[in-house]
Amino acid sequence: MCPRHHRNPPSNVFDLRLWPKRPGAPKRSGTPDRPGAPDRSGSGEDDGVARRDSQRAEPTTCPCGQGLPYADCCRRLHTGSADAPTAEALMRSRYAAFVVGDPEYLLRSWHTSTRPPRLRLDPGQRWTGLEIVDTDRGGLFDSTGTVEFRAHYREAGRPGTVAERSRFVREDGRWVYLDAGST
């Protein structure tokens, strides 16, 4: 995602275009999600380990926007007891993983060819809503699909929006996030 496509760029953008795509590629500084990003945890150390944000309480209603209880919706995907049946369901579950602070799920649901070696979420960023703008394919019998969305957040008291058209593919029969394009 290019900064010109959204206002107030967030500190953890979904865009992969600047990330290393192969082992041994040079790491670039950038956002906390990107390898080589500066540590914002306040500890001054970056051990590179993805951790669930233990300070965030598990929501009652799933943050993906479907209106179901979290335990009956995206939590099943986050814990690995179910797989997303469609590309849109995977997109919603990935958004919910950002909300609940689950980088392990984000990495597991990422295509092996584009997955970063680690992922840290910005604890100061609060995701506030997801809008699915459009979907193309990505159904039960498809092998590829795209989901265009707007994800809203607040950081340092200011609202922001990430707008993206994400590509998804099946890997070993499961939907996974491949990469992003700007909208």
The alpha-helical segments, DSSP class H, found in 82-168 are 87-100, 103-108
Per the structure, how many domains does the chain have? 1
Domain that holds residue 64: 59-183
Average pLDDT over the chain, rounded to an integer: 78
Judge if pTM exceeds 0.85. no
The CATH number of the domain holding residue 125 is: 3.10.450.50
Asked if residue 5 is part of any domain, the answer here is: no
Asked if residue 169 is part of any domain, the answer here is: yes
Asked if residue 153 is part of any domain, the answer here is: yes
Most confident region among 44-58, 83-97, 168-182 by mean pLDDT: 83-97
